Chain A
């Protein structure tokens, strides 16, 4: 049973300690919700979990093995959704999604099916042939989230995924996360509480911030 855990984590950004002594554990089917005021380190923690940043102290382990030992394997089992949408203005919606799905090892045919499914999930099938530059902020967000559906990965790291989304899209995302957890996936999501997840563990980052300790 896969397990992703971190202990005693410390994050330093431009010589400022964002949080320290932070520990967490996620197992398959779990959801971890990160809350905290602006600047409390939600995004930084997600970037640590993705492997974009390295912790100043502490360790991250997957099934007991240190994550830094095999970064390529970590990348293969993970989806990261950050603040930026990574939608190319001159590529169509389906080309955008299929590029990322094929980057994760899908062949051309499986990728086409998966992309069709992903478009349906977020109700953007009618936009399939529209170039990225004509999309609204919410539509771009849907394209970004459709990547989650278009290629499987055990761990989803979502940094405020509901930004610019309408109610229908948020509901679609909640369903997608429920299915993902039901099939044994893990989710770590930072949010300001617009998203409802059942049985989620909540991690309040303000408990680990330096400002409070000082």
Chain B
């Protein structure tokens, strides 16, 4: 447990001292969403209709951007090799890194989301649900993304490959995340969508650390 917290602490330390990385992800998220009113026109009805989808898609892309570096720097400087040789099981090491990734990118995205919801003229009934759906959905993104980030270690053009591998797997989270917000705005029950998002999260916690650890072991051979 100590080693587990030790990794989280070190990675948060690294993220804080390289604070621009997290900030850039949030800036990307904001700019990507802000582009839509320019492209589609400032018609409030249309913007409100597409707001949940646009915010979710931008959140997927933003968390993708930072996933590439999840294992890459540790891989390049030899730390990943040593982490895989440390007494802590590699699955837990991966989980610790995923938690840090979510704290440094998922949480800032969730904090920025209400501001973007205002910009996109999202119906006020959907605000709370957008946050709840993001809180349930973004950890799944970090977990699924970790598998891709581990698989691309050592590959050329890793970033592009990562999006090809991972974005299709993000689709279920996107569908139910957007549908929860839409249902809340239209006054329908949202329990089903939230349960499914929660099920994705539990499933991802159970499977992804093992898959990512296996890929990391292959990479450090």
Contacts and interface: CB of A to CB of B under 8 A. Distances in A.
Interface of A: 47, 50-53, 72, 75-76, 78, 80, 82-88, 90-91, 95, 99-100, 102-105, 107
Interface of B: 2-3, 6-7, 10, 13-14, 17-18, 77-79, 81-89, 220-221
B14 A52 contact: no
Given A88-B14, A90-B14, A105 B78 contact: no
Nearest to B89: A72
B87 A76 contact: yes
Contact of A85 (B78, B84, B87, B221): B78
Contact of B78 (A76, A83, A90, A95): A83
B169 to A, nearest CB: 29
A99 B17 CA distance: 16
Contacts of A104: 3, 86-87
Given A88-B14, A103-B3, A107-B2, A52 B87 contact: no
Contacts of B85: 50-52, 75, 78, 80
Residue from A72, A84, A85, A107 with most neighbouring chain B CB atoms (10 Å): A84
Contacts of A78: 85
Contact of A105 (B2, B17, B82, B221): B2
A43 B131 CA distance: 51
A102 B2 contact: yes
A82 B76 CA distance: 13
Contacts of A105: 2-3, 87
A84 B78 contact: yes
A134 to B, nearest CB: 14
Contact of B77 (A47, A86, A95): A86
Given A102-B2, A105-B2, A87 B77 contact: yes
A85 B82 CA distance: 10
A85 B84 CA distance: 15
